């Protein structure tokens, strides 16, 4: 694929078209019109709830069209792996999660990260690597992003509902963090993206650094302060899948 701007028409959107003739379905996209990836919140509420929480409560509002804060796709697989490892080291989900969040006996706890590791918005990506929101813990001597600097939570059933609880570790979220990680059902984590996101990428012809929006298909409200403006602990958010 390659970019081209219609000569003499600067008022028109930039258009990018497929050039390989071997494609079975070629086409064009308006580069300046970002597409929207939509979660199935009713099927995968744990992943959708976590993304909604981080997208809504943190100041960078990653992927929120209402704030004009798009996600930017990052297509380097090696960097993707690095971003994941920094935010979600192995065994973190199992150590910090609750088995009641699992769908069935074949399910396993996963570390769900937001913003996505495959985005320049990822907290695991250094500024020197092109990252927009590096999550470096206060007092770090290595200036390396680490998931401990994110809002940390885990999913747990409470009666007939699933709640997200803060992983305290001696601190309460300030909601000035730049990322989130949550121990949730692997089914919810993987199926909320997986093949659906791959198809979205193909259909929307997403390339490296392209912008897109995320619609979590959740609505909700959070009480972070009381009537006098003082922080509330815990912060209670009520969400409903759309």
- Nearest in space to 28 (alpha carbons), one of 232, 224, 203: 203
The structure's pTM equals 0.88
CA distance 239 to 58: 16
Task: Give the residue extent of every domain in the chain.
Answer: 34-241
Question: What digits encode the pLDDT tens for the residues 20-72?
Answer: 765 567 888 887 889 999 999 999 999 999 999 999 999 999 999 999 999 99
| Contact residues for 212 (Cβ-Cβ < 8 A; gap 6+) | 34, 35, 36, 37, 63, 70, 71, 73, 204, 206
Checking if the pLDDT of 3 tops 70, the result is: no
CA distance 36 to 61: 15
């Amino acid at each position: 694929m390659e970019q081209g701007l219609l000569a003499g028409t600067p008022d028109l959107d930039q258009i990018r078209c497929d050039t390989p003739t071997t494609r079975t379905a070629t086409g064009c996209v308006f580069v300046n019109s970002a597409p929207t990836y939509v979660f199935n919140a009713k099927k995968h509420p744990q992943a959708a709830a976590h993304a909604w929480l981080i997208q809504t409560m943190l100041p960078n509002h990653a992927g929120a069209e209402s704030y004009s804060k798009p996600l930017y796709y990052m297509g380097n697989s090696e960097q993707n792996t690095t971003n994941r490892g920094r935010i979600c080291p192995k065994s973190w989900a199992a150590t910090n999660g609750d088995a009641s969040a699992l769908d069935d006996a074949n399910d396993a706890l996963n570390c769900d990260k937001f913003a996505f590791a495959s985005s320049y918005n990822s907290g695991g990506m250094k500024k020197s690597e092109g990252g927009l929101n590096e999550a470096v813990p206060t007092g770090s001597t290595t200036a390396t992003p680490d998931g401990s600097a994110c809002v940390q939570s885990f999913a747990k059933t409470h009666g007939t509902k699933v709640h997200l609880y803060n992983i305290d570790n001696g601190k309460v979220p300030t909601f000035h963090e730049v990322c989130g990680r949550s121990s949730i059902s692997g089914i919810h984590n993987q199926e909320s993206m997986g093949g659906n996101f791959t198809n979205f990428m193909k259909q929307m012809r997403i390339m490296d650094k392209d912008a897109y929006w995320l619609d979590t298909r959740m609505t909700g409200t959070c009480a972070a302060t009381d009537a006098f403006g003082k922080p509330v602990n815990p912060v209670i958010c009520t969400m409903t899948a759309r």
